[in-house]
Amino acid sequence: MTDAQIEIQLIASLVAVACAIPGTFLVLRKMAMISDAISHSILPGLVVGFFLTQDLNSPWLILFAAITGVLTVVLVEKIQQTKLVKEDTAIGLVFPALFSIGVIMIAQYANDVHLDVDAVLLGELAFAPFDRVYYGDMDLGPKSLWVIGSILVLTLILLFAFFKELKMSTFDAGLATSLGFSPIVIHYGLMSVASVTTVGAFDAVGAILVVALMIAPAASAYLLTTNLKKMIGLACFFGVFSAISGYWMANILDASIAGSIATMLGLVFLMVYLFAPSKGFFAVLYREKQQRREVSLITFLLHLKNHIEIEERHVNHLNEHINWQKVRSKTILSLAQKNNMISISNDVVSLTEKGEEFTSKAIEYILTNEDSLIEDMKEDFFLFRG
Q: Which residues bind another protein (CB under 8 A)?
A: 27, 30-33, 35-36, 40, 79, 82, 84-86, 88-89, 91-93, 96-97, 99-101, 103-104, 107-108, 111, 117-118, 121-122, 208-209, 211-212, 214-216, 218-219, 222-223, 250, 253-256, 258-263, 265-266, 269, 273, 279-281, 284
Cα pseudo-dihedral 368, 374, 379, 384, rounded to 10: 130
Beta carbons of 295 and 346 less than 8 angstroms apart: no
Q: Output the smallest distance, CB 255 to another protein, in A.
A: 4
Choose between 258 and 318: whose C-beta lies nearer to another protein: 258
Closest of 246, 194, 154 to residue 39, by C-alpha? 194
CA count, 13 A, side-chain hemisphere, 43: 32
Q: Output the smallest distance, CB 22 to another protein, in A.
A: 13
CA angle 76-216-77, nearest 5°? 10
Q: Output the smallest distance, CB 135 to another protein, in A.
A: 35
Choose between 151 and 210: whose C-beta lies nearer to another protein: 210
Measured in residues, the chain has a length of: 386
Task: Name residues whose C-beta falls within 8 Å of residue 125's C-beta, 6 or more positions apart in sequence.
Answer: 8, 11, 12, 204, 205, 247, 257, 258
Choose between 129 and 246: whose C-beta lies nearer to another protein: 246
Choose between 116 and 131: whose C-beta lies nearer to another protein: 116
Rounded CA separation 16/216 (Å): 11
Choose between 9 and 260: whose C-beta lies nearer to another protein: 260
Beta carbons of 260 and 253 less than 8 angstroms apart: yes
Q: Output the smallest distance, CB 30 to another protein, in A.
A: 5
Q: Output the smallest distance, CB 38 to another protein, in A.
A: 11
Choose between 30 and 114: whose C-beta lies nearer to another protein: 30
Neighbouring CB atoms inside 10 A of 349's CB total 25
Choose between 101 and 315: whose C-beta lies nearer to another protein: 101
DSSP string computed for 250-298: HHHHT--HHHHHHHHHHHHHHHHHHH-TTTSHHHHHHHHHHHHHHHHHH
Choose between 212 and 333: whose C-beta lies nearer to another protein: 212
C-alpha pair distances (Å), 148 with each of 42, 145, 154, 263: 17, 5, 10, 22
Choose between 22 and 355: whose C-beta lies nearer to another protein: 22
DSSP string computed for 328-344: HHHHHHHHHHHTT-EEE
Q: Output the smallest distance, CB 159 to another protein, in A.
A: 20
Q: Calculate Rg over the CA atoms of the chain.
A: 29
Beta carbons of 337 and 344 less than 8 angstroms apart: yes
Choose between 34 and 362: whose C-beta lies nearer to another protein: 34
Rounded CA separation 375/105 (Å): 61
